[in-house]
């Protein structure tokens, strides 16, 4: 999911809105219904009337996306910033074009789709991050950190040490690392990203998506056993030096 969402970072042409995976069926892609509606602010319209430069126009936009899979038919309302910019067409001519910057989507475009068996509170924190990533990336990064804390709680990693003093998220991840060093290492990287959002308030949406991809890996290692089953099958084949076959019945 995160890979598709990277195309929405910053300004994009309204007539070239990227194909984003449907947040409901995860199979189809969303496309713009009719067109993006840009609404110029009163102040920019006043400036435009004086200067007559289209690039002076800016404001907000609304739009509707729809899943291409007919059986799904999910619709997503989007909104954000709108402006007129200069671009170059296929013939090399300068043209005025509308550009948009996403700030809101309902239902939210998920930054990752966790395995079904992921704890509810972890899923809730991820959903919160998806809701606000375009409006406040730093706060979204902080929600990913909360997802880690909820995950550690579910794994029975206490919030206090043997001395009854509070344990930091860092220390709790290290404690979990004694049990599962691979997953703990991935969680630690997400924690560092969340730290930036908590203390420096300077995260970008792509950086949050980096954290989402890493958290997705950790959750799949913990709760998606399909890879483990395949690895076990591969080990069995290697041990037998071939596929196990039943002897034919005489």
Question: What pLDDT, in 10s, does the model give residues 168-203?
Answer: 999 999 999 999 999 999 999 999 988 876 655 689
pLDDT at 61: 97
| Longest Cα–Cα distance in the chain | 95
DSSP assignment letter at 232: H
* Residue 164 domain flag: yes
* Residue 119 domain flag: yes
7-32 average pLDDT score: 92
Percent of the chain's residues with pLDDT above 90: 73
**Where residue 2 falls among pLDDT bands split at 50, 70, 90?**
low
* Residue 117 domain flag: yes
**Where residue 232 falls among pLDDT bands split at 50, 70, 90?**
confident
Say how many domains are in the chain: 1
pLDDT at 93: 83
The alpha helices in the chain, defined as continuous H runs, are 2-5, 42-51, 120-132, 137-154, 169-177, 181-199, 205-223, 226-240
DSSP H or E stretch at residue 81:
strand 75-88
For the stretch 57-116, pLDDT in tens is 999 999 999 999 999 999 999 999 999 999 887 877 889 999 999 999 999 999 999 999
* Residue 22 domain flag: no
* Residue 152 domain flag: yes
Cα distance between residue 222 and residue 183, in whole Å: 8
Least confident span in 46-55, 84-93, 150-159, 186-195: 84-93
Q: For all residues of the chain together, what is the average pLDDT? A: 91
* Residue 98 domain flag: no
Closest C-alpha among 193, 190, 25, 45 to residue 110:
25
pLDDT at 242: 81
Q: 125 to each of 19, 102, 249, how far by Cα in Å?
A: 26, 21, 56
Angle between helices 205-223 and 120-132 (to 10 degrees): 160
Question: What number of other Cβ atoms are within 10 A of residue 180's Cβ?
Answer: 15
pTM here is 0.84
* Residue 92 domain flag: no
pLDDT at 197: 64
Cα distance between residue 120 and residue 86, in whole Å: 46
Q: Which domain holds residue 215?
A: 111-240
* Residue 154 domain flag: yes
Percent of the chain's residues with pLDDT above 70: 94
Residues in the chain: 250
16-35 average pLDDT score: 91
**Where residue 236 falls among pLDDT bands split at 50, 70, 90?**
confident
**Residue 45 is encoded by which pair of tokens?**
């319209």
Question: What number of other Cβ atoms are within 10 A of residue 120's Cβ?
Answer: 9
């Amino acid at each position: 999911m995160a890979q598709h969402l990277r195309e929405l970072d910053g300004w994009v042409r309204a007539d070239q809105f990227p194909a984003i995976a449907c947040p409901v069926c995860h199979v189809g892609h969303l496309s713009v219904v009719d067109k993006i509606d840009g609404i110029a602010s009163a102040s920019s319209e006043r400036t435009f009337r004086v200067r007559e430069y289209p690039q002076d126009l800016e404001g907000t936009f609304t739009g509707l996306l729809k899943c291409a899979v007919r059986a799904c038919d999910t619709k997503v309302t989007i909104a954000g910033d709108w402006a007129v910019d200069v671009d170059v067409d296929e013939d090399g001519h300068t043209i005025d074009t509308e550009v948009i910057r996403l700030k809101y989507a309902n239902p939210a475009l998920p930054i990752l789709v966790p395995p079904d068996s992921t704890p509810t509170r972890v899923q809730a924190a991820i959903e919160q991050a998806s809701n606000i990533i375009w409006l406040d990336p730093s706060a979204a990064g902080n929600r990913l950190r909360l997802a880690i804390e909820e995950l550690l709680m579910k794994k029975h990693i206490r919030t206090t040490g043997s001395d009854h003093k509070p344990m930091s998220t860092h220390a709790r991840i290290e404690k979990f690392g004694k049990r599962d060093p691979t997953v703990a290492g991935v969680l630690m990287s997400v924690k560092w990203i969340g730290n930036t959002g908590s203390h420096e308030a300077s995260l970008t949406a792509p950086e949050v998506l980096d954290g989402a991809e890493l958290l997705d890996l950790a959750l799949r290692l913990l709760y998606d056993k399909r890879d483990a089953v395949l690895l076990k099958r591969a080990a069995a084949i290697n041990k037998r030096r071939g596929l196990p076959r039943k002897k034919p019945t005489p």
